[in-house]
Structure 1
Amino acid sequence: MCRPILMAVLAAAVLAACSAAPPPSAPSAVARAFQWSAWGGDAGGRRFAPIAQITPANVDRLQPVWTFHTGARAKGWDVGGKLTFEATPLFVHGTLYFSTATGQVFALDAATGKARWRYDAHVEAHADYSELTSRGVTYWRDPQAKADAPCAARLFVPTVDTRLIALDAATGKPCEAFGDHGQLHLSAHLRRTRHADYEFTSPPVVADGTVILGSSIGDNAFAAEARGTVRAFDARTGAPRWHWNPITRTGADADPGHDAPPYPKWNGAANAWGVFSVDAARHRVFIPTGSASPDLYGGDRPGDDAWANSLVALDTRTGQRVWARQLIHHDTWDYDLAAQPMLVTVRRDGQAIAAVVQLTKNGQVFVFRRDDGTPVYPVTERAVPTDGVPGEQLSPTQPYSALPALVRQGPVTPDDAWGLTFWDRNACRKRIAELRSDGMFTPQSLRGSIEMPSWVGGTNWGSGSWNPHTQMLFANVDDLPMVVQLLPRATFERLRKNGGLDGWDYNVQDGTPYAMRRRALLSPLGAPCIKPPWGRLVAVDLAHGRIAWSRPLGTSRGKAPWPFWYLHGAPNLGGSMVTAGGVLFIGAATDGYLRAFDQRDGRVLWRYHLDAPAMATPMSYVVGDRQYVVVAAGGHGKLDTARGDALVAFALPR
């Protein structure tokens, strides 16, 4: 081919490529002004970015533009094997703010990823923490402070060693006027029967000048655990403002708000370890609470354990309960309400309804009016099995939402058995036949019960995302069966002595007649005993109360040897983020990919393989003329994935 013809062909190819991929449009004024100023994007936890530069038409051109390594690998820590990197950064006025499980806080230039400052809380490394995570920090601008005053804008940083720290957002230095030279020590006077079982893992919220904080409690070791008291402090000084206890006691058991010695033998926990949401106009904070202790046996806590496992609306000024809805009665399945309540406006039957959406571990979607807790979609009580172990007193009914379930909730039968080989499948069939399975609220048993959905989810702390323009709710869910077995004390001690607990997650449930052990229901080759997908991404049309689409999320890569990477639908932890451009971003799956989905139909539009899975929720923002998507890629110790310390930013080519 002669040179003039060759040049003409190349020129035509370039023109064709340019016409097929037009330059991205400039961000709108709304997009430029948008600040990802709270963990869930906004105070209502919608995880929606009103930015449309990245679209289904150009997202396949997305590429990494910078990577920041924290260096937080927990080397030498007693529980370093539990390390996660679940933080979602905040974006405020050109700066990204985020934390690590090991107590480091970073401020980065949002365009370049270069560090502006770093703070180290010097968290105690030699402690037996139940969890080793930090999901982020909280930003607050003091409306009474001058713009250039120290700590006019501040970050509130929770730590796993029970401190709440206030930092100057501009410099990273402690706010000296807050508490004890910038921090509160919040473990004093708490009933704590195992070291480091009481932690702070999720960021607090700020409303009406108060910083409001829950706690994470390892709630399976003892019946008499610390109580899950929600606390509020003056955001400027750290002075106590109010507290609220999820489990109410009267008479001789009443106390002034803290667990002080001597410790009566009542059950505790019901702690709110997830993220709260705030409706500033209504002066309300919406709190999801967990199960009472211990999780899997409730014979010593008769009744419904109100307000455990509840969505609770408190007055941000006083801490008084405005309304509450208990979504699990007398929980013995570890069905904590882990997901952040989502404050949305639902357009239904010609009305615009100020609503709060609560996703649950058992795969249900509940929608209530924010004003009074009235269900937007009906909630009914249905009869469930009550024949648990001797001493147990299960609730005869449980709440069910009229909205379709996001996961399977029926019994697991031998006909459901699945395996990678015929031999594998037969082993699963035999194992299923040996276990009890009555559906979602199967009582715990001495022979072993199948918990489906499991305590992992359904929906866990990653929560959902919401597109207000399309009225579409998106949620990633786990769809895995687990085996749970209660063990009489003597049996437990014998198994512990003889190695019969190897390969199980077990706990003593001290103060009760039973210990417990649990693990995934797996075949001899290590695959779940039911057919995939075991993880999915689901879109719910809330305007019409229906499932719009459901797609497998992730693959077996990273958890199965090649060539078994082809299985679709993997276990996942983390959450999704949606944009006005019609794209949904999510990592979460154990295979290590960050993916972009088309919000309309769930098609995968783009994926990028990270060095470690992104077990965190992505976020997005605009600097200059460019939209960025950022995610923490650190893996998850408890899921035995690759581990990392990277914050990775993506954008379209310039």
Structure 2
Amino acid sequence: MKIQLFLALLLGFFGVLGSAQAGDWAHYGGDAGGSKYSPLAQITPENVRSLEQAWTFSTGDVEERTSDEMRSSALEVTPILADGRLYMCSAFNEVIALHPGTGEQIWRFDPEVATDRRPGNQYTCRGVTYWVDPDAEPTARCASRIFTGTVDSRVISLDARTGEPCTGFGAEGIVAIKPEIDLWWPGEFQITSAPVIAAGKLIIGSAISDNARAEAPRGTVRAYDVRTGEFEWTFDPVPRDASSPVADSWSEDGRAITGHANVWAPMSVDEDRGLVFLPTSSPSPDHFGGTRPGDNRYANSVVALNAATGDVVWHFQTVHHDVWDYDLPAQPSLITLQRDGEPVDVVAQVTKTGFMFVLERDTGEPFFGVEERAVPQDGAPGEHLSPTQPFPVAPPPFTPQKITPEEGWGMLLFDEWSCESRLAELRSEGLFTPPTLGGTVLYPFTGGGANWGGMSFDPERQIAVVHTLSIAMEVRLIERDAYDGGNITNDAGERAPQVGADYAMTRGVMLSPLGVPCSPPPWSSLTGIDLSDGTIAWTVPLGTIEKIAPVPLPFKWGAPTMGGSINTRTGLAFIAATSDDKFRAFNTLTGEELWQADLPSSGAAIPMTYEWDGRQYVLIAAGGFGRTSVEMSDQVIAFALPE
């Protein structure tokens, strides 16, 4: 391991000059509950157009990595500000401390991850976690710490002042996670999101490659003593024990062999209640559930655990018996709403299906109500579909959920005809149409709806802001004896064996001959949801197609990629998350675009904001998204008003 102590002796022991208390962004989601809200008020709707670039920082990956390595990565990090420093991780898990006012590197830690692992979820690191030991002397080594997870499944504890490993944690600062079964290749199992800390426990999930096999790595959530790294508890979303209260939602064989249902997205913490909230994913494999009859509870669920013990306090399933890869992809948002003039603490969970489920935080009961409604049946032979699925009474869906052949879209007439013809050949009965041998339209596709960018929330205006995609995908099951082997993921889609299931599968975004989505625009939107009454306040296209169309066109049809928004006290929503390489500010109440700036590549990340020496900064990682970006970058860019 290499540690570059750039200015560490000077700055590590005497601190960085300046102060940043009320303006801290100390957690990945701004706060432990993931509201992505800042009380800062220096930047307003009236002056936001004056924002200018204040500083930039480059991780060095563009110069040091090969083109193939960069194309297998995504700079999705949201830095945090704590104890007078910015802390972040690169796509390749290097942890870096920066000066908040200049972007100057203070220290850097390189865990030296191998770049030949073929991670199913790219080389990426969405964030790090900061913790202060309340029992340590402030000047003691590792009195404050930075924790991170890596692509090779290590959990690392670093001294926040110097970047040196905290040797009392695990083995010389490292806990190596070993999956319960052998991996088929090194990148089948990884960590992409920051851990959380609650009740003295460091709690961490995992990301697992989709669709290779039914008997896949388990989606176990693990907790360790935050000081020592000693094992504390685990929670497996697939109940292996027949005595589990949800065991009857699985077959006996399904409980034994099924993997996944992992927590790859960020978790949230309510420290006062001693709860950690998990957004669980789909069980293996994604598109055929014949090996796991039943609703498969704890999968595709918001699960509230006792942070001290790992025991389930409550759970709410958003998709029964998932065969669409409709994971819960985003951090649960712990927010407070009003009912009859009284505050009610809730959990708001956005989903790939385009639904937002709002649940009371103490019980998991729906705040606005949820109905079980009949959904399409007649899946592939051997499938065991749920006859109903949960539909929120409010808010309404924030993305379209059905497409007909007549709605097939193209830039030119022949383009449109091609999409209409393809849609007419596939089964398309709306949300929850099951995968079939003849081909099925998934709309929304497996990327959402919402994805890991999640939602941000303005508590004064009671507005949630959600970045959403609206793209159709074709998924097709393949008879086992007709599958000729291989597991391929590329720009055209994915083809995978689903070993142990009756069928292999192929899936891909439906594109016209000219390379644009067959679903009608906008393909990327920003939506404001009024949670005072559960209604859609506004929806606007997010981005132009000038960089993704065959000819540069400035049409506001939405420029899809990943990322999310933040809100500020003055009624601003900041977001990048477009393939037109822009960073934008919107009016939270109306959705009006107020400002935009050019980025070196797409900002496939969630921004953050902080105050330093009396100046408010808004920061975005603009590194691109390896699978879709034309140009890759490795920059973190801070904007501020002129001094």
| TM-score clears 0.5 | yes
Q: Does 1:321 align with 2:321?
A: no
Name 1:15's counterpart in structure 2.
Answer: none
**Could you say which residue in structure 2 is the equivalent of 1:16?**
none
Give the corresponding residue for 1:422: 413
The match for 1:351 is 342
| Superposed CA offset, 1:107-135 (max 9, x none) | 00000100110110101122121121100
> Residue 612 of structure 1 is aligned with which of 601, 613, 625?
601
Counterpart amino acid of residue 38 in structure 2: A
Tell me the equivalent position of 2:495. Answer: 506
Structure 2, unpaired ranges of 5+: 1-18, 245-253
- Confirm or deny that 1:556 pairs with 2:556: no
Aligned pair in 2 of structure 1 residues 434, 207: CA closer, same or farther (>3 Å)? same
Q: What residue is the counterpart of 1:256 in the other structure? A: none
Task: Name the amino acid aligned to 1:506.
Answer: R
Report whether the alignment pairs 1:436 with 2:456: no
1:393 aligns with 2:357: no
After superposition, the Cα gap between the structure-2 partners of 1:191 and 1:324, relative to the gap in structure 1 and judged at 3 Å, is farther
1:152-551 equivalences in 2 (<5 Å)? 152-187=143-178, 189-250=180-241, 266-493=257-484, 503-551=492-540
- TM superposition shift of 1:219: 2.6
Q: Which residue does 1:70 correspond to in 2?
A: 59
Deviation digits for residues 172-194 of structure 1, max 9, x if unmatched?
A: 00000000000011025444333
Question: How far is the alpha carbon of 1:414 from its aligned partner?
Answer: 1.6
Secondary structure in 1 matching 2:186: coil
Change (3 A) 1:596 1:502: closer
What does 1:76-115 correspond to in 2, within 5 Å? 76=66, 80-115=70-105
SS in 2 for 1:428: helix
Is the partner of 2:61 in helix, strand or coil? coil
Aligned residue type for 1:331: D
Return the offset for 1:306: 1.3
Q: 1:143 to 1:297 in 2, by over 3 A?
A: same
Amino acid at match of 1:83: S
Deviation readout 1:518-556 (Å, 9 max, x if unpaired)? 111111111111221011100011011111111001111
1:127 maps to which residue? Answer: 117
Structure 2 vs 1, CA of residues 374 and 57 (structure 1 numbering), >3 Å: closer, same or farther? same
Instruction: Pick from 624, 631, 637 the counterpart of residue 642 of structure 1.
Output: 631
* Structure 1 pair 31–104 and aligned structure 2 pair: CA distance change class (3 A): closer
Q: Measure, in 1, the Cα distance between the counterparts of 2:243 and 2:359.
A: 35
**Counterpart residue number, 2:41:** 52
CA distance in 2, matches of 1:401, 1:559: 34
- What do the CA deviations read for 1:286-308 (whole angstroms, capped 9, x no partner)? 00000000111110011111110
Partner of 1:142: 133
**Worse-matched range after superposition: 51-60 or 345-354:** 345-354
d(CA) in 1 for partners of 2:66 and 2:42?
44
CA–CA distance in 2 between the matches of 1:556 and 1:187? Answer: 43
Q: Is the 8 A contact 1:483 1:521 kept in 2?
A: yes
1:503 CA drift (Å): 3.2
> Does the Cα contact within 8 Å between 1:31 and 1:50 map onto a contact in 2?
no
Separation in 1, partners of 2:592, 2:60: 35
What is the Cα deviation at residue 103 of structure 1? 1.9
Deviations 1:72-94 (A, max 9, x none): 24724875422100000000132
In the alignment, residue 42 of structure 1 is paired with which amino acid? D
What is the CA–CA distance in structure 2 between the aligned matches of 1:77 and 1:425, rounded to whole Å? 35
Q: Give the partner amino acid of 1:90.
A: I
Deviation (angstroms), 1:507: 1.0
Distance 1:38 1:477 in 2: 23
Return 5+ residue gaps in structure 1 as ranges. Answer: 1-29, 254-262
Tell me which residue corresponds to 1:117.
107
Q: Alpha-carbon deviation of 1:267? A: 1.3
Aligned to 1:583: 572
Question: Residue by residue, what CA displacement relative to the aligned partner does 1:197-230 show, whole Å, maximum 9, x if unpaired?
Answer: 1100000000111100011011311111111011
Distance in 2 separating the partners of 1:430 and 1:585 = 39
Closer/same/farther in 2, CA of residues 433 and 172 from structure 1, 3 Å limit? same
Deviation at 1:100, TM superposition (A): 1.3
Matched residues, number: 615
The normalised TM-score by structure 2 is: 0.93
Q: Is the 8 A contact 2:514 2:550 kept in 1?
A: no
Radius of gyration: which is bigger? 1
Q: Distance in 2 between matches of 1:408 and 1:281?
A: 34
Distance 1:524 1:139, change over 3 A: same
Distance across 2 between alignment mates of 1:334 and 1:32: 41
Q: Do the aligned partners of residues 533 and 301 (structure 1) sit closer, same or farther apart at CA in structure 2, a change above 3 Å counting?
A: same
